[in-house]
Structure 1
Amino acid sequence: MLLGMLFERGTYKKLYSYSHLINGFAVHISPEQAETLRRAPGVKSVERDWKVKRLTIHTPQFLGLPTEVWPTGGGFDRAGEDIVIGFVDSGIYPHHPSFASRNTEPYGPVPRYRGKCEIDPDTKKDFCNGKIIGAQHFAQAAIAAGAFNPSIDFASPLDGDGHGSHTAAIAAGNNGIPVRMNGYEFGKASGMAPRARIAVYKALYRLFGGYVADELLQLI
């Protein structure tokens, strides 16, 4: 209605209406029309659209964590201390640098945490290292349905497709981890809470996804 009152039909193109997070709309108009719209009664703000890029490794900077949030928590080497983040996903690759604890200050015990660490059937070592403090897999429903193949899906918390490791690194991966692929350098990545601990509950698998009965076990 506002656009129809201000401009002639055919001189603008409304793209979207927004009604949840903001009360507004997106419209394709000329700079002169934008200024007219800006001055119209009842208009709070007019913002020009901008182009964005996929910049995963710059997410902490985009959110203002290094200069605004992390310092209040003791810096990146303390941000997330004593927090445990649980992931119901496809598992984790514990040897990735994002989850290493050898170059960090030793982690102490976490009060009131009762998670478990499974033993890798191949290496005979558990999946925990201080950074990762819980690692279990759940597949009884998948096995009962005949969908589980241990040679492909791994009968352990080991990540079968990388999704669980990716999400865990985004939330709680170590700070300053070099990202390299095919000989190219893409900068250094960090989790949003680099010092947080990780608890893994593997209930999703590469080929078939997962079964609600396995996933619900983590939520109740």
Structure 2
Amino acid sequence: LAAVMLGFVFLYWAQDLPIASGLYAAFRSTGRGMDAALGTNVFRHPVMWQSMATGVLVGVVAPLVGSFLVHREMALIGETLAHTAFAGVAIGILVNASTGWDGSLLLVALVVAVCGAVAVQWLTAHTDAYGDVPIAIMLSGSFAVGTLIVSYGRGLTAINIEGYLFGNLAVVTVEGARLMSVLSVLVVVGVALTYKQLLFITFDEQAARVAQLNVTGYN
């Protein structure tokens, strides 16, 4: 199912190419047939396929990574990175409103979220804090930064920034679906290539260091 959804996103992306236009038309025709058979009016619309594709891909990638995070007592990391991305979107919107920069807010949020994840790992490695404490610090700190920026920039832009915090799967953009597709491929390939190392580090980090694995790099 994930492969089918991924295929749709890439077909929609490349529908203007001769090699993909026929496949995309067949996909749309299949959707109309499903609507006729089920008595619905859902599968004929590309926006609904985008939403379903994004949901399916998140459903594959999140538990794939989450199984390692839960065993590392980092179950709160998902909410933390969501709030960190919120701060990233706030920064992007403020820069956009102040300078006229017309870049992707999703990419800004992604970069800030990655920086937040690295910061959490740094706090975990360089402090004696237990379990989810560094994650909670980053969660509250990033949300506070995002709230301050939103309060400062309110009135400068008409974008509803709260929508980025809570999200809405029913209105996934083409850009969001493409970004999720690319990230899904990268995550699945990355986990597949490093599965044994990640498993070793997750269950016995000290033994992994003795075995001369680059624990910091894998983390």
TM-score by length of 2: 0.21
The structure having more radius of gyration, on CA atoms, is: 1
Structure number with higher helix proportion:
2
Structure number with higher strand proportion:
1
TM-score by length of 1: 0.21
